[in-house]
Amino acid sequence: MNTFRIDYGEELEDAIDDLTSQINNSEDVSQRFPHRWLAVALLDNDPGLEEHLGGSVDGEALLARRDELRESLGPGIDTAIAGRRYDVVHEITASSVDSGGRRQKTATDRIDAIVINRYLGLPIFLGAMWVVFKITTDIAGAFLDWIDGAVSGPISDLATSAVSAIGLEGTWVESLIVDGAIAGVGAILVFLPVLFSLYLALAFLEDSGYMARAAFVMDRLMRGVGLQGKSFLPMLVGFGCTVPAIYATRTLDNERDRIMTAMLVPFMSCGARLPVYVLMSTIFFPRYAGLVVFSMYLLGIVVALVIGVILRRTALPVTRHAPTIMELPPYRMPTVHSIWFHTWVRAKAFLKDAGSIIFVTMMVVWLLMAIPVSGAGSFADTDVSDSAFAAVAGTVAPVFDPAGFGSWEATGSLMSGFVAKEVVIGTMAQVYGVEVAEADEAESISTLGSIRDLGVGLGAAVVDAAKAIPAMVGIDLGTEEAEAESSTLMGSLRLGFEESSGGHGALAALAFMVFVLIYTPCMAAVAAIRHEIGVRWMWMSIIGQSLLAWAMAVAVFQVGLVVGAG
């Protein structure tokens, strides 16, 4: 018979003896359980025992005595029994297992000593972000023109031919399909390579184990503004999408942190804002597009930290935060299959969105642009500047004059962007693209539509993307000068911003990007905030973000003018 018995110490052994004698005196209980085991389990507050002992007189008496003893032993009883067991296990293993002395440092330990170092961790994190956005803009950017050519060329031509074949040429149906669906949704799909490369980079960082380190590094920064370290985890999710990030704040320990984090998460630049940055920076800052995009993400973090400090000192005073233990996975080389899977799942979701809410929003925008409110046009055959869309956006546009983008086109894009940020690009394609398309209609049909040209264009894009990789580290393999405005949309966007800003288009574009970064991410995010932290905070979020976005956009433009930039 095994006589091994853990000695729990005098105080606990007395309590065990006390309960054991009571168990011995109960015929009912003593026949059902080993006596000492039951006494220890009772003192350890085993959750299943109440169910087994409750209901009988002896059982209830035993539970009552257990409660008395636990109270007299104090709160230390919670971990005393388990702790003593671990001590015994530790003593046995220490005397019987030769672990070779001190724990050997693994490769992960050595890498972590640098990557999550108190002083090096943050610069390394920023460096990793810079590389991600450099890849996104320089490599994926090479494919933008090619897809743009496919959408505005063969696809539009094919749709036009199909509409003509069923006798609807020149009707509102043609306008709906070509100017609404294809121009709007197509303009968003143009950025699929950009988002695809972002997802690819994120998947690599996740699978390699670095993303967990980013959370660890940012934990320290979060504590600096009075948030618990875990607050950065929802923010990390927010780089992908604001909506699940806001829901993720539920995992935080107290309400104050939940509210604060939910208010800050929208400043993390979600994937949907990336196409806007890429488009604007490609047009206005072709040489520094990657740096500009990176700066936008960085600005989002800085704004979140500043707002966090302000909230901590005003509406949400700081509370003590608990230390955290993070189980960081070991570093590993990601597999191609895994990276592809993660990237594809995210890209598929983007495509699904483009076919659902973005499509519907684009149709609504088209409808508003098809309804004439001035001029001599008729439904779907009117100058866009005479449309209901232009009239509504035009009334709000003067608000943005001090920021340099007070045109109805830019304002209308921002207004529709309240639904979802992808729609900003789609609306721009409709309001800027439609005007150009009307002017160049004859030319476009004769020059576009060549699938052979598209094949050549794809080859050139692949070569440019390949050249961009060594160029990232300063090796120039003869990459051609960046084309600032190779498409009609890009050209008319530049003209529009130059016009609205009095010749300071680059500054206005920068201010526009800052506004897109700061103002309300999307309707779904608003709904999530309302659901998680209530209506009052939802309105504070909408109003606060809009005012801040406006103030920062104006500051960027006006300060830029004063210092002679742009």
Partner 1 sequence: MTILDRLLDELHTVKGPIRSSDLASRIGISDSALDGMLGVLVSKGKLKGSASTVDEELVACSGTACGASCVGLDKCPFIVDVPEVFSLVIEAPKVEHGRPLGR
Of 421 and 504, CB closest to partner 1: 421
Give the 3-state secondary structure of 4-37.
CCCCCCHHHHHHHHHHHHHHHCCHHHHCCCCHHH
The whole-angstrom separation of Cα 369 and Cα 87 is 75
Q: Which stretch binds partner 1 (CB under 8 A): 306-314, 451-459, 509-517, 521-529?
A: 521-529
Please list, in sequence order, all residues whose beta carbon lies within 8 angstroms of the beta carbon of residue 232, skipping any fewer than 6 positions away: 215, 218, 219, 221, 222
- In the set 87, 169, 381, 440, which binds partner 1 (CB under 8 A)? 87
At position 152, the amino acid (one-letter code) is: S
* Residues 254 and 319: beta-carbon distance below 8 Å: yes
Q: Does the protein bind partner 1 through residue 48 (CB under 8 A)?
A: no
Q: Which 199-238 positions form the footprint of partner 1 (CB under 8 A)?
A: 202, 206-207, 211-212, 215-216, 219-220, 223, 228-230, 233-234, 236-237
Least Å distance, CB 73 to partner 1, is: 6
Q: Does the protein bind partner 1 through residue 270 (CB under 8 A)?
A: yes
Q: Which stretch binds partner 1 (CB under 8 A): 21-29, 32-40, 244-252, 470-478?
A: 244-252
Query: From the CA atom positions of the chain, what is the Rg in Å?
Result: 31
Least Å distance, CB 328 to partner 1, is: 5
- Dihedrals φ, ψ of 434, to 5°? -60, -45
- In the set 352, 375, 539, 559, which binds partner 1 (CB under 8 A)? 352
Contact letters (x/-) for partner 1, 524-543, by CB under 8 A? xx-xx---------------
* Residues 29 and 35: beta-carbon distance below 8 Å: no
- In the set 55, 101, 323, 564, which binds partner 1 (CB under 8 A)? 323
Judged by DSSP in three states, 76 sits in coil
The whole-angstrom separation of Cα 361 and Cα 357 is 6
Q: Does the protein bind partner 1 through residue 51 (CB under 8 A)?
A: no
- In the set 128, 328, 436, 445, which binds partner 1 (CB under 8 A)? 328
Of 272 and 283, CB closest to partner 1: 272
Number of residues that bind partner 1 (CB under 8 A): 89
Of 150 and 424, CB closest to partner 1: 424
Please list, in sequence order, all residues whose beta carbon lies within 8 angstroms of the beta carbon of residue 399, skipping any fewer than 6 positions away: 406, 411, 550
**Which residue matches tokens 């993660």?**
342
Of 322 and 562, CB closest to partner 1: 322
Q: Which stretch binds partner 1 (CB under 8 A): 68-76, 145-153, 161-169, 494-502?
A: 68-76
Q: Which 103-142 positions form the footprint of partner 1 (CB under 8 A)?
A: 103, 109, 112, 116
- In the set 18, 50, 157, 353, which binds partner 1 (CB under 8 A)? 353
Judged by DSSP in three states, 488 sits in helix
Q: Which stretch binds partner 1 (CB under 8 A): 23-31, 143-151, 316-324, 428-436?
A: 316-324
Please list, in sequence order, all residues whose beta carbon lies within 8 angstroms of the beta carbon of residue 385, skipping any fewer than 6 positions away: 408, 435
Q: Does the protein bind partner 1 through residue 13 (CB under 8 A)?
A: yes
* Residues 532 and 442: beta-carbon distance below 8 Å: no
Tokens of 37: 């085991």
Residue 255's Cα: distance from chain center in Å? 22
| Beta bridge partner(s), residue 387 | 372
Total number of residues shown for the chain: 566
- In the set 243, 263, 301, 370, which binds partner 1 (CB under 8 A)? 243
Of 174 and 257, CB closest to partner 1: 257
What is the enclosing helix (H) or strand (E) of 356?
none
* Residues 552 and 519: beta-carbon distance below 8 Å: no
Q: Does the protein bind partner 1 through residue 346 (CB under 8 A)?
A: yes
Q: Does the protein bind partner 1 through residue 98 (CB under 8 A)?
A: no
Tokens of 433: 């693209």
Least Å distance, CB 538 to partner 1, is: 13
Q: Does the protein bind partner 1 through residue 66 (CB under 8 A)?
A: no
Q: Which 419-448 positions form the footprint of partner 1 (CB under 8 A)?
A: 419-422
Q: Which 468-497 positions form the footprint of partner 1 (CB under 8 A)?
A: none
Of 152 and 413, CB closest to partner 1: 413
The whole-angstrom separation of Cα 391 and Cα 534 is 34
Least Å distance, CB 177 to partner 1, is: 23
Tokens of 566: 């742009």
Least Å distance, CB 503 to partner 1, is: 35
CB neighbourhood size of 537 (10 A): 19
Of 186 and 521, CB closest to partner 1: 521
- In the set 55, 75, 167, 474, which binds partner 1 (CB under 8 A)? 75
Tokens of 359: 């499509």
* Residues 365 and 185: beta-carbon distance below 8 Å: no
- In the set 41, 248, 425, 493, which binds partner 1 (CB under 8 A)? 248
Of 229 and 496, CB closest to partner 1: 229
Least Å distance, CB 468 to partner 1, is: 26
Q: Which 249-268 positions form the footprint of partner 1 (CB under 8 A)?
A: 250-251, 253
- In the set 57, 165, 166, 322, which binds partner 1 (CB under 8 A)? 322
- In the set 61, 321, 402, 463, which binds partner 1 (CB under 8 A)? 321
The whole-angstrom separation of Cα 193 and Cα 141 is 7
The whole-angstrom separation of Cα 290 and Cα 469 is 13
**CA dihedral for 120, 123, 129, 130, sign (positive or negative):** negative
